[in-house]
């Protein structure tokens, strides 16, 4: 069950943020084995001053159109799957929305399955005892 947070500027046209969210979900389904209907996202559009980032880092220059994508998911994806995911998200957003690939920041946070509750105050994926 990935939980996705997307933070971006509110300077984009209507529907832009939704396309970003839909694209991330589509790529998660194809690249990192996320099941159908496993779409939990919080998409937040910010005033430009609320997104803090350097002008450049690791030789990559950023603009005010930066998009932060953070995915919390269960441990278990290979390095190759993660590389494929990063590239596919970037390529898809560039193609669909003509964003700069340099402005797409992706962070994966891996957790054990018992760190989720899907409701009712229960640990649905509790370790077997």
In the residue annotation, 13 being an active-site residue is answered as no
Among 2, 35, 101, 127, which one carries the catalytic annotation? 2
The helix/strand/coil state of 107 is strand
Our measurement of the distance from residue 81's CA atom to the centroid of its chain's CA atoms, rounded to an integer in Å, reads 14
Distance set, CA 70 to CA 7, 33, 63, 119, 126 (Å): 9, 17, 19, 22, 24
The residues carrying an active-site annotation are 2
């Amino acid at each position: 069950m990935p939980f996705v947070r997307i933070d971006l500027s509110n300077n984009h046209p209507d529907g832009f943020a939704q396309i970003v969210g839909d694209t991330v979900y589509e790529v998660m389904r194809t690249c990192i084995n996320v099941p159908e209907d496993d779409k939990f996202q919080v998409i937040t559009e910010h005033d430009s001053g609320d997104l803090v980032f350097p002008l450049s880092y690791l030789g990559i220059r950023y603009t005010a159109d930066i998009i932060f994508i953070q995915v919390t998911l269960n441990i278990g994806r290979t390095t190759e799957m993660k590389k494929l995911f990063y590239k596919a998200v970037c390529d898809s957003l560039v193609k669909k929305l003509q964003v700069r690939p340099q402005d797409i920041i992706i962070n994966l946070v891996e957790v054990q399955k018992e760190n989720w509750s899907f409701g009712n105050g229960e640990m649905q994926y509790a370790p077997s005892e």
